[in-house]
Amino acid sequence: MCDHESPNYTKPRLLYSGVALTTKVQIDQQDGDTLARMGGWLFKRRTSIPLPIALALLLIPAPPHVTSFWTPLTLAGVLAIAAGELMRIWGVQHIGAISRTRSDRLGPLIDTGPFSLVRNPLYLGNILLWIGFTLAAQLLWLAPVVAVLLSLEYHAIVRWEEQLLDLRLGEPYRVYQRQVPRWMPRVGAPKQLAGAGRFTLLDTLVSERGTLIAIAIGLLLLAAKQQATSGHWIR
């Protein structure tokens, strides 16, 4: 996790998944880390696991004093959702649709854009998205609970992914791992930060269309929930 501008920095080579293939079964056999094994199970189900959170946001009523959907807390939630999705779009522009795979298939090692600041920008974006939805649902007390639950889930997934990447990509990934933090974006602007994405904005938006549609539907459902309970869209 040292600085890219350090004299000891060596830019990781691009390695593809066709090299040194290692299956999840092999990782499970070699790894005694229960958390990493759990992460492999969560990885394939990471899209559906937050569904209980979505149900809670729709079923738990807002505080009685909230009579309108559009409140300062809603605005804070929408801003958090926008920040999380912009982080995702920036990341997907560099990593591509491989980020949506449910298998242990790998693409090249990416160290540009947000991946030059933190190793897991897409998961950080997801956590921001869900915190934003929690705020938009007027459930401020639930936001830290959601943040902790998702952080634990993604931490387990990342432990499994890191072992997979280490076994398949070898030393280039270990170099990257030492230089870029797992969760806390590093301070400074490494030269890779300004690197152009590998994919066009149009390709990125097509890849992200499912998330964008889900965001729109989620906000509409929260507005409908508030309208149904208070009888007011805006007051």
- Count the neighbouring beta carbons within 10 Å of the beta carbon of residue 2: 12
Domain that holds residue 78: 64-230
Residue 23 lies in a domain: no
Q: Which helix (H) or strand (E) holds 178?
A: helix 171-179
* Local structure of 119: helix, strand or coil: coil
Flag whether 40 is in a domain. no
Q: Give pLDDT tens digits for 62-115.
A: 888 887 888 999 999 999 999 999 999 999 999 886 655 555 556 678 888 899
Structural domains of the chain, count: 1
Q: Cα angle at 166 between 11 and 173, to 5 degrees? A: 10
pLDDT in tens, 214-227: 999 999 999 999 88
Nearest CA-CA partner of 96 in 12, 25, 199, 20: 199
Which residue, 77, 81, 165, is CA-closest to 120?
165
The answer to whether residue 91 sits within a structural domain is yes
Structure tokens at 4: 């890219």
In a domain, 20, yes or no: no
pTM: 0.79
Residue 41 lies in a domain: no
Match 């938009």 to its residue by tokens: 136
Q: Is residue 22 part of a domain?
A: no
Decide if 86 is inside a domain: yes
| 173 domain residue, yes or no | yes
